[in-house]
């Protein structure tokens, strides 16, 4: 198919974008098109480095989009969507409304400024040997000037520190006419500074993308008509209409209607709840069935999810403990170098020895080795399917001794599975009862109905004819079958609304509920007919993950859930967990984590819901599942990119490897530089030799960090996905 122009323009109701923002639809065109699939070329992707993540989050906010692939290098976008009326136009219209965050557009002037000293230093190393003395002085001054200026400023502002030592080393070399040594030292320092700031900036960008929640659309009643707007534009007092499959865009109270709402991301409950007049709706929950009109009470930054996100963003901005420790260790060794130099000069009056000593700087290896090792650990984690947000997260994951799990969506899959079919009246066999219930339930869309229909299909049971289905939202269903009325639903529905009594089967019911199962009740007009028991499915790798975490040094494994006690205890026994905390409201999850921390435990929390946000933030390390709520993924220090619980153990193994690598590099840095310092003090190493040995060892430590410790032969914990 020939390429066609992208003619869709932003919706007239949309507010104009700020002038600085970049529209990716400028010059865009459709390369290829099939029903339900578009491939587009977006030349403007070249103008924004990090537009890919923003674009993915924006387009995934359209409920009709089923799959998305963005290739920044090829400047292309592939969108697959539900082939329904108006979906194509909606997708293109949404793309046309997208604007890139101006903070991520074009070339950052700060990065240019940081790169300039490094480039100047490298150029000086090439040309200094070829120039006369005057040219060498000017070029050395140009290369070393930033280091000298930074050292002078640091001395005035805060006294003696690593910057002062750097300036002394470079200045002493330059004053003695050793221009190449001065330029080499300045270049190495510039390289270290650039790599450190570049790594930090990349981490900031990663966090900024993760903290940006996926956009939600909302239908709002305005001027007697429904208008679709972005969730962020909903105002307090607006009447919002939300139906099946739609996400609640703001906190509010139901004005009219009834709906079945999935609040698992809020409360941790694995069964949807009924919401009707005056009951509260929370942003982030999803309507499974029915429709409600609700009045928005908290919008924008006042919603539950937004307020938790703000709290977490503030906690994430705190300075890294590892960075503080590295700086402290580097500063201590400044005094060691200065003291050694002073003693050597006092005893020998040899300026050459003094110069050699001052060129030994522990801070380069210490300041470079740690962040680069962390970055290597982050890259290795990403290759395994785990996103780790910075060095402190790796350090924390290596130090934890307690892992706390949420239940729904974490230790278990979010969907349900049929476990038992119990016939109560003897009129039908189990297969017939399941087939009959599935034939009626296939007209519903809630998770219990889906599980029953799936179970019948897996057993290849035939569809059973029935009359028209009546449906009472959040209660149950009924239909005529073979001359009688069959009712399916909750015990409350069948006993209170239909007038049937299940008390005679209390022992069976209690036994199934004690196993942590959810019950679907079935009756006809006269008597109970049967029970269908369901349970959320435990992840296949849950027990293996628990056992492996123990092997990796975790001492306590704990379950915290909003689910009922019997269900939680059953799961805890099955997985061999140490402690179970059930029926926990969201705020108590964080309180338990805080109590464990006060008792001296170093806690990692694994969860996936909005309600897990405070607990994730309160823990030493928060780990979020990939299908979790935006707020959970934003809160977490570690995000699993694939829906495998075993990645938690993989992340722990990588963190332990990285910590060992950092200790190895630290010992190498201290050992090698102390040896060089001793040789310099004894006059066994010239200034040039001292600079080359010091900077060479720094580069070696840096390469060892980048390689994940392979250069030093450090063993790595084997991962299941690695060969050998």
Confidence of residue 95 (pLDDT cuts 50, 70, 90): confident
What is the pLDDT averaged over residues 168-192? 74
What is the pLDDT averaged over residues 196-217? 53
The answer to whether 691 touches 184, Cβ cutoff 8 Å, is yes
Of the listed ranges 75-79, 375-379, 604-608, the one predicted with least confidence:
375-379
Q: Which of 305, 306, 354, 362 is nearest to 331 (CA)?
A: 362
Cβ-based neighbours of 108, under 8 Å, separated by 6 or more: none
What was the pLDDT predicted at 488? 93
What was the pLDDT predicted at 154? 78
What was the pLDDT predicted at 556? 95
Cβ-based neighbours of 375, under 8 Å, separated by 6 or more: 199, 391, 706
The answer to whether 60 touches 34, Cβ cutoff 8 Å, is no
Rounded distance between C-alpha atoms, residue 633 and residue 353, angstroms: 55
pLDDT for 722 beyond 70 = no
Of the listed ranges 20-24, 48-52, 718-722, the one predicted with least confidence:
718-722
What is the pLDDT averaged over residues 655-669? 86
Report how many helices (DSSP H) and strands (DSSP E) the chain contains, helices first. Answer: 23, 27
> How much is the mean pLDDT over the chain?
77
What was the pLDDT predicted at 528? 93
What was the pLDDT predicted at 294? 94
The pTM of the full predicted model, rounded to 2 decimals, is 0.58
Which tokens in the block code for residue 601? 């435990």
What is the pLDDT averaged over residues 64-72? 78
What is the pLDDT averaged over residues 204-227? 67
Greater model confidence, 701 or 559: 559
What was the pLDDT predicted at 318? 45
Q: Which residue has the tokens 């190493």?
A: 685
Rounded distance between C-alpha atoms, residue 651 and residue 182, angstroms: 42
Rounded distance between C-alpha atoms, residue 358 and residue 676, angstroms: 11
pLDDT for 103 beyond 60 = no
What is the pLDDT averaged over residues 148-155? 82
Give the DSSP H/E element, type plus range, for residue 399.
helix 391-399
What was the pLDDT predicted at 713? 59
Print the SS3 string covering 444-482. CCCHHHHHHHHHHHHCCCCCCCCCCCEEECCCEEEEEEC
What was the pLDDT predicted at 635? 63
Which tokens in the block code for residue 653? 């193994």
What was the pLDDT predicted at 211? 45
What was the pLDDT predicted at 520? 92
- What share of the chain in percent tops pLDDT 70? 74
Of the listed ranges 54-58, 129-133, 348-352, 522-526, the one predicted with least confidence:
54-58
What is the pLDDT averaged over residues 255-265? 81
The answer to whether 562 touches 584, Cβ cutoff 8 Å, is yes
Confidence of residue 60 (pLDDT cuts 50, 70, 90): low
Rounded distance between C-alpha atoms, residue 373 and residue 143, angstroms: 28
What was the pLDDT predicted at 66? 78
Percent helix, percent strand, percent coil in the chain, to nearest 5: 50, 20, 30
Greater model confidence, 35 or 689: 35
The answer to whether 256 touches 277, Cβ cutoff 8 Å, is yes
What is the pLDDT averaged over residues 534-542? 86
Rounded distance between C-alpha atoms, residue 216 and residue 226, angstroms: 16
Rounded distance between C-alpha atoms, residue 45 and residue 52, angstroms: 8
What is the pLDDT averaged over residues 377-382? 76
**658 — phi, psi (to 5°)?**
-65, -40
Cβ-based neighbours of 607, under 8 Å, separated by 6 or more: 405, 406, 410, 589, 615, 616, 622, 623, 624, 625, 628, 632
What is the pLDDT averaged over residues 389-398? 83
pLDDT for 665 beyond 80 = yes
Q: Which residues of 90-109 are buried (b: 16+ CB within 10 A; e: fewer)?
A: bbbbbbbbbbbbeebbeeee
Alpha helices in 317-390 (DSSP H): 321-348, 351-358, 362-384
What was the pLDDT predicted at 271? 62
403-453: pLDDT as tens digits:
999 887 788 886 788 999 999 988 789 999 999 999 998 888 777 888 899
Beta-carbon neighbour count of residue 587 at 10 Å? Answer: 10
Greater model confidence, 300 or 504: 504
What was the pLDDT predicted at 20? 38
What is the pLDDT averaged over residues 638-656? 88
Give the DSSP H/E element, type plus range, for residue 721.
none
Q: Which of 358, 362, 322 is nearest to 343 (CA)?
A: 358
Residues across the chain: 724
610-643: pLDDT as tens digits:
567 778 778 889 898 876 655 556 667 788 877 7
> Terminus-to-terminus CA distance in the chain, angstroms?
47
Q: Which residue has the tokens 């995000």?
A: 639
Report the sign of the C-alpha dihedral through residues 201, 203, 205, 208, in that order.
negative
Strand ranges for 618-722 from DSSP E: 621-624, 638-640
What is the pLDDT averaged over residues 359-369? 69
Instruction: Count CA within 13 A, CB hemisphere, residue 154.
Output: 16
The answer to whether 95 touches 24, Cβ cutoff 8 Å, is yes
Confidence of residue 264 (pLDDT cuts 50, 70, 90): low
Q: Which residue has the tokens 């019997």?
A: 566
**603 — phi, psi (to 5°)?**
-105, 135
Q: Reduced to 3 states, what is the DSSP secondary structure of residue 482? A: coil
What was the pLDDT predicted at 653? 93
- What share of the chain in percent tops pLDDT 90? 17
Distance of CA 552 to CAs 225, 407, 556, 605, 652, Å? 59, 22, 12, 16, 7
Greater model confidence, 713 or 660: 660
The answer to whether 146 touches 84, Cβ cutoff 8 Å, is no
**642 — phi, psi (to 5°)?**
-125, 150
What was the pLDDT predicted at 127? 78
Rounded distance between C-alpha atoms, residue 648 and residue 664, angstroms: 25
Of the listed ranges 421-425, 463-467, 565-569, 674-678, the one predicted with least confidence:
565-569
Cβ-based neighbours of 642, under 8 Å, separated by 6 or more: 385, 626
For the ranges 200-204, 388-392, 602-606, the maximum mean pLDDT occurs at 602-606
Q: Reduced to 3 states, what is the DSSP secondary structure of residue 602? A: coil
Distance of CA 558 to CAs 360, 401, 561, 571, 585, Å? 49, 11, 10, 11, 16
300-343: pLDDT as tens digits:
766 655 654 554 454 444 444 655 666 666 667 677 777 887 88
pLDDT for 365 beyond 80 = no
What was the pLDDT predicted at 206? 47
What is the pLDDT averaged over residues 385-406? 86
Greater model confidence, 397 or 209: 397
Of the listed ranges 176-180, 196-200, 233-237, 387-391, the one predicted with least confidence:
196-200
Strand partners, 219: 228, 241
Q: Which of 409, 401, 415, 408 is nearest to 584 (CA)?
A: 408
């Amino acid at each position: 198919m020939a390429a066609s122009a992208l003619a869709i323009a932003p919706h007239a109701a949309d507010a104009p974008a700020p002038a600085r923002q970049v529209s990716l639809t400028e010059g865009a065109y459709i390369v290829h098109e099939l029903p339900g699939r578009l491939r587009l070329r977006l030349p403007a992707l070249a103008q924004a480095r990090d537009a890919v993540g923003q674009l993915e989050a924006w387009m995934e906010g359209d409920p009709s989009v089923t799959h998305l692939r963005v290739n920044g290098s090829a400047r292309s976008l592939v969108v697959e969507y539900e082939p329904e009326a108006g979906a194509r136009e909606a997708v293109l219209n949404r793309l046309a409304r997208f604007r890139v965050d101006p903070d991520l557009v074009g070339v950052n002037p700060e990065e240019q400024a940081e790169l300039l000293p490094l480039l100047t230093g490298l150029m000086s190393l090439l040309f200094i040997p070829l120039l006369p003395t005057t040219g060498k002085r000017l070029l050395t001054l140009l290369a070393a000037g930033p280091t000298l200026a930074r050292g002078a400023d640091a001395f005035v502002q805060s006294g003696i520190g690593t910057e002062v030592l750097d300036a002394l080393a470079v200045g002493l070399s330059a004053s003695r006419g050793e221009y190449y040594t001065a330029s080499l030292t300045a270049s190495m320092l510039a390289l270290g500074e650039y790599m450190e700031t570049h790594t930090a900036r990349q981490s900031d960008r990663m966090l900024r993308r993760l903290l940006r929640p996926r956009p939600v659309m909302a239908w709002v009643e305005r001027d007697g008509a429904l208008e679709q707007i972005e969730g962020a534009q909903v105002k307090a007092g607006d009447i919002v209409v939300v139906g099946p499959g739609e996400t609640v865009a703001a906190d509010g109270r139901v004005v009219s209607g009834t709906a079945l709402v999935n609040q698992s991301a809020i409360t941790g409950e694995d069964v949807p709840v009924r919401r009707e007049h005056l009951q509260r709706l929370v942003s982030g929950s999803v309507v499974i069935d029915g429709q409600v009109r609700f009045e928005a009470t908290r919008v924008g930054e006042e919603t539950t999810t937004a307020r938790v996100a703000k709290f977490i963003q503030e906690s994430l901005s705190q300075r890294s403990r590892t960075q503080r420790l590295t700086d402290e260790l580097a500063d201590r060794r400044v005094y060691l170098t200065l003291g050694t130099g002073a003693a050597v000069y006092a005893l020998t009056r040899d300026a050459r020895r003094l110069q050699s000593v001052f060129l030994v700087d522990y801070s380069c290896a210490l300041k470079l080795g740690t962040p680069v090792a962390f970055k290597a650990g982050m890259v290795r984690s990403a290759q395994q399917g785990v996103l780790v947000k910075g060095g402190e997260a790796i350090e924390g994951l290596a130090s934890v001794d307690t892992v706390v799990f949420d239940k729904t969506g974490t230790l278990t899959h979010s969907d349900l599975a049929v476990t038992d079919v119990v016939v109560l009246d003897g009129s039908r066999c189990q297969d017939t009862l399941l087939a009959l219930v599935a034939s009626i339930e296939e007209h519903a869309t809630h998770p219990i109905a889906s599980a029953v229909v799936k179970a019948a299909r897996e057993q290849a049971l035939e569809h059973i004819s029935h009359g028209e289905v009546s449906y009472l939202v959040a209660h149950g269903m009924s239909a005529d079958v073979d001359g009688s009325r069959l009712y399916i639903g909750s015990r409350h529905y069948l006993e209170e609304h239909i007038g049937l009594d299940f008390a005679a089967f209390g022992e069976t019911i209690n036994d199934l509920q004690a196993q942590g199962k959810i019950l679907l009740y079935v009756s006809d007009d006269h008597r109970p007919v049967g029970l269908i028991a369901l349970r959320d499915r435990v992840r296949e790798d849950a027990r293996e993950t628990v056992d492996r975490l123990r092997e990796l040094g975790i001492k306590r494994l704990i379950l915290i859930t909003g689910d009922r006690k019997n269900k939680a205890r059953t799961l805890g026994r099955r997985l061999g967990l140490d402690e179970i905390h059930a029926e926990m409201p969201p705020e108590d999850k964080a309180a338990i984590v805080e109590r464990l921390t006060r008792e001296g435990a170093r806690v990692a929390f694994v969860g996936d819901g909005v309600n897990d946000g405070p607990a994730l933030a309160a823990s030493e390390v928060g780990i979020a599942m990939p299908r979790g709520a935006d707020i959970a993924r934003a809160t977490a220090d570690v995000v699993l990119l694939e829906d495998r619980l075993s990645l938690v153990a993989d992340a722990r193994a990588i963190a332990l490897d990285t910590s060992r690598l950092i200790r190895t590099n630290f010992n190498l840095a201290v050992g090698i530089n102390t040896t060089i310092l001793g040789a310099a003090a004894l006059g066994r190493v010239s200034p040039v030799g001292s600079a080359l040995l010091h900077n060479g060892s720094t580069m070696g430590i840096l390469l060892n960090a980048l390689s994940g410790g392979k250069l030093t032969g450090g063993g790595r914990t084997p991962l299941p996905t690695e060969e050998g």
